[in-house]
A = this chain, B = another copy of it.
Amino acid sequence: MFKGLAAFPLTPLVNGKPDEKTFVSLIENLAAARVNVIAPLGSTGSYAYLSREQRARLTALSTDAAGDIPVMTSISALRLEEMLDLADDAQRAGARGLLLAPLSYQPLSQEEAYRLYERVARAVSVPLCIYDNPATTGFTFTQDLLCAVARLPNIGSIKLSPFSDAAGAAAKIAALRREIPATVTLGTSGDHQAADALLAGADVFCSVTAGLWPRDIRALTDAALAGDAAQAAALNGAFEPLWTLFRRHGSLRVIAAAAELSGRVAAPCLPEPLLSLQGEARAQLQTVLAQRDYH
């Protein structure tokens, strides 16, 4: 299941509680656009700010709304036993993939992270996606650890942290391919550099933007995965004004503001103390949205 376009929607909140109706409408839009994986409750879906009950309920709403499209949901939490409980909940709610970051309060050692994946991998019956996100976990995978974890049972994919450039993407992907099982696919995150990473051999576009505008990112993904560099560059170019904001402010606060400004969700949609883009940056985004028509 871990191939093509994985779309990561927001979990819009109203007064601190999930706005389920709007959330379902976002999922239905992803299903209609035929993304390959619907990935609610990723970092963009604010999983870390939601209770176990909220996460179980939102996962169940997602699998209902997703139809035949597989749903992957995050099971990361600060404690191992919470992660095991969340894995049970997600599988019961019909998730067909589980996203797991080495989340902790005290950044984990390589050995602690390996044991964490080992314990969870042996406890689940749907495939795991290893989630490498140093910005939120404070944890950096060594190449050796990433390969060792990828060889555990039930590992389906690795969601890699953003590459610095196309050459770096090609080198890292080639190095991983030599070491990991052929059944484990490689995903790229960081929408602003994903076209390069797909052209360099990544299998999955784990996209924040597709959570809001799946059709344009679907076209970009298809072009890049087909190796059509010219078409991919043209489609990617339309997003450059957005990527500039992503690079400067991170994707979450920008996409949340875009969803608010376009009326897709009520403002403010993020969990406190997070704020979507404010002030001058928000005005810049509004200008981008007035000039472009993303779908």
- Measuring CB to CB, which residues of chain A are less than 8 angstroms from any residue of chain B? 16, 43, 46, 48-49, 78-81, 103-109, 111-113, 115-116, 119, 135-136, 138, 250, 252, 271-275, 278
- Name 23 A/B residue pairs within 8 A (Cβ), A-sorted: A16-B81, A43-B105, A43-B106, A46-B105, A48-B105, A49-B79, A49-B105, A79-B272, A81-B272, A103-B105, A106-B250, A106-B274, A107-B136, A108-B274, A109-B275, A112-B274, A112-B275, A113-B273, A115-B275, A116-B272, A119-B272, A135-B138, A138-B138
- In the complex, A138 Cα to B135 Cα: how many Å? 8
Chain B residue contacts of A49, Cβ below 8 A: 78-79, 105
Closest partner residue, chain B, to A279 (CB atom): B111
A80 near B272: Cβ-Cβ < 8 Å: yes
Please state the number of chain copies in the assembly.
2
**What is the interface of chain A mostly: helix, strand, loop, or mixed?**
loop
Least CB distance from A90 to B in Å reads 18
A111 near B81: Cβ-Cβ < 8 Å: no
- In the complex, A46 Cα to B78 Cα: how many Å? 11
Least CB distance from A82 to B in Å reads 9
Selected from B43, B48, B278, the residue in CB contact (under 8 A) with A78 is B48
- In the complex, A136 Cα to B105 Cα: how many Å? 6
A136 near B106: Cβ-Cβ < 8 Å: yes
- Closest CB pairs A-B (n = 7): A48-B105, A80-B272, A116-B273, A112-B273, A80-B273, A49-B79, A105-B136
Chain B residue contacts of A275, Cβ below 8 A: 109, 111-112, 115
B105 near A273: Cβ-Cβ < 8 Å: no
A278 near B81: Cβ-Cβ < 8 Å: no
Chain B residue contacts of A105, Cβ below 8 A: 43, 46, 48-49, 103, 136
B136 near A278: Cβ-Cβ < 8 Å: no
- In the complex, A116 Cα to B275 Cα: how many Å? 11
